[in-house]
Every structure is written in C-alpha cells, then in structure tokens.
Amino acid sequence: MDQRVGLVGYGAMGSVFAELLAGAGRKPLVFDANAGALEQARAAGFETARSAAEIAERCDVIDLIVRTDDDVLAATTGPEGIAEGAGPGNTLIVMSTVSLRTTYAVAGAVASRGALAVDACPSERPGGVRAGNNVFLVGGDEAVVDRLRPHLLHMSRAVHYFGPLGAGNAAKLVKNLLVGAERLILHEALLIGQSAGLPYVRVLEMLRDTVEPPLVAEWETVFDPTGASPVPQTGSNVLGKDVPLAADLARSRGVDAPITFELARSALALVEAASRAPDGAGSGHR
C-alpha cells in the first residue's frame, strides 16, 4: 500500500500509533488541536499539519484517534476539519471509541465529499499497543477493510472484522462493558466482604489464587457454540443459589450493592426460565 498516511490526534494513543507506523516505514503526517501535542510530535521527528483539513488534502489514509464524541466531531465536521479537505482519494479510519451516532455522522460527512470511512477501535490501552498486544475491532465495507488490513497490522497483531460501519465500534463498547462491569461488581464484592469482617486486600489475594480462568477463555462450555442463542447455561449452584445468597448477605449487612441485587434478580429469572425449557436447555453446572 503506497499511500500517504495522516494521523489526527497525537495523544497517549495516537503517539504510540505514530511511533509504530514510523517503525514500519509509514511515518505519518500529524495534526492535533492541542499546540503542546503538536510540539511533542515535531520533537519526535514527525512533520505536522496546520489543520485536520490539511491532513485530508495531503494524505490518502487518515487515522483519527481522539478521545470524546465532541473531539471526533470537531476534528471531522468542525471548521478546518477532515471533511473540509476530504475527497474521493481519502479513506478515514475512525479509531476513537464513541457513540455509533457519531461514527455514522462523521462517515456521512466525508462520504458527502466522496471519501470512504471505516471504524477500527483498538482493543488495548497505549502500553498494550506498544507491547504488541493490540487487536483492531473493525466495521465497514469488507473490501475497503481488506485494503486497509496491512496498514492496520502495522499497529496491531490482528484485525477482527465484524460487519458494516459501526460494528467495530459496537464490539469495542461490548468489550469495555465487560471490563467496567468486572471492576464495578468487584467493588461491591469487596464491600460485602468487608461487611462480614473480611479485609479487602486479603479477599483480592484469595480471588487471585482461587478464581477460575476468565469465562471467555472457555466460553464454549457455557454458551451455545452454534450461535443459536446467547443464553448461558445456568448451572445448579452459582446462579440459582450463591449469587442470591451474596445479595442476601449484602442486604443483611446494610451494604449498598445495587449491581449485586440486580444480578441476583437476573440469575433467578434465568434459572426459572431454564427450568421451564422443554429440552432442558440452560442447565449445566458452572
């Protein structure tokens, strides 16, 4: 792929992408709305542009990696944004984790100028990207994604294609929902443990020593691998007995644990539904 690469967003993640692209012989032209970030890019040896529009005017592939929905919209549809300089020769890669509405809006803005767009969200934080662990979660026209694959592999170890525009962004939100949920429920679990006199540091050490590998590492044992239904096997103890018992402990100790209470309600509902299933679906022992 002999195309000029532009990078909009030289923050914590963008600077790592720039470094990896440079190491692969694809040194990008860089723009950031923050003057300090632009100075850092120049100090690192990167040529900088005066605006995101100039990036679009001078580059074929544009990697957009800024933090928020507002940042993405400003960089794309704002004054001197990417759409202002975009044309039929451009392909915009939206790498920011934002709402799908924003992804569609910026893709539509550049499409009106004849440019293409895909979304490709990184799976890792900057340190993980630099360490070579990143996977891009991608949505968009499959033929366009195939053309971009070599470029994306300069910054990742794999590219997971999920479907039309927005699918990569949705996949990243699903991944981060799981990450956030684990942190939140662990917080509630520690509060419940403390209410029963368990020092939370010792609980964390116990969990590290006893908790099974992540469910996703062996998901076929709990979820239907044929793709017929995402309903998990309920098991006979954890969902039907132990999760509700943990919720009862929290209530009895006056712990504010709304996620735990909702998990207990959902667990019992799943177990009840499984018990009514005519073929025994949803049973199991995990």
Question: How far apart (Å, rounded) are the C-alpha atoms in residues 127 and 110?
Answer: 31
The answer to the question of residue 282 being in a domain is: no
* Pair 23, 51: CB distance under 8 Å: no
Range of the domain at 90: 5-165
Among residues 261, 286, 268, the alpha carbon closest in space to that of 185 is found at 261
Asked if 10 and 132 sit in the same domain, the reply is yes
Q: Are strands 116-122 and 135-139 parallel, antiparallel or unpaired?
A: antiparallel
Angle CA(154)–CA(158)–CA(162) in degrees, nearest 5? 120
* Pair 18, 38: CB distance under 8 Å: no
pTM of the model: 0.90
Q: Are strands 29-31 and 5-8 parallel, antiparallel or unpaired?
A: parallel
Question: How far apart (Å, rounded) are the C-alpha atoms in residues 119 and 121?
Answer: 6
- For the chain (length 286 residues), average pLDDT per consecutive 10? 88 98 98 98 98 98 97 98 97 97 98 98 97 98 98 98 97 95 96 97 96 89 91 84 95 97 94 78 46
The answer to the question of residue 285 being in a domain is: no
The per-residue pLDDT for 14 is 98
We report the CATH number of the domain holding residue 10 as 3.40.50.720
Domain total of the chain: 2
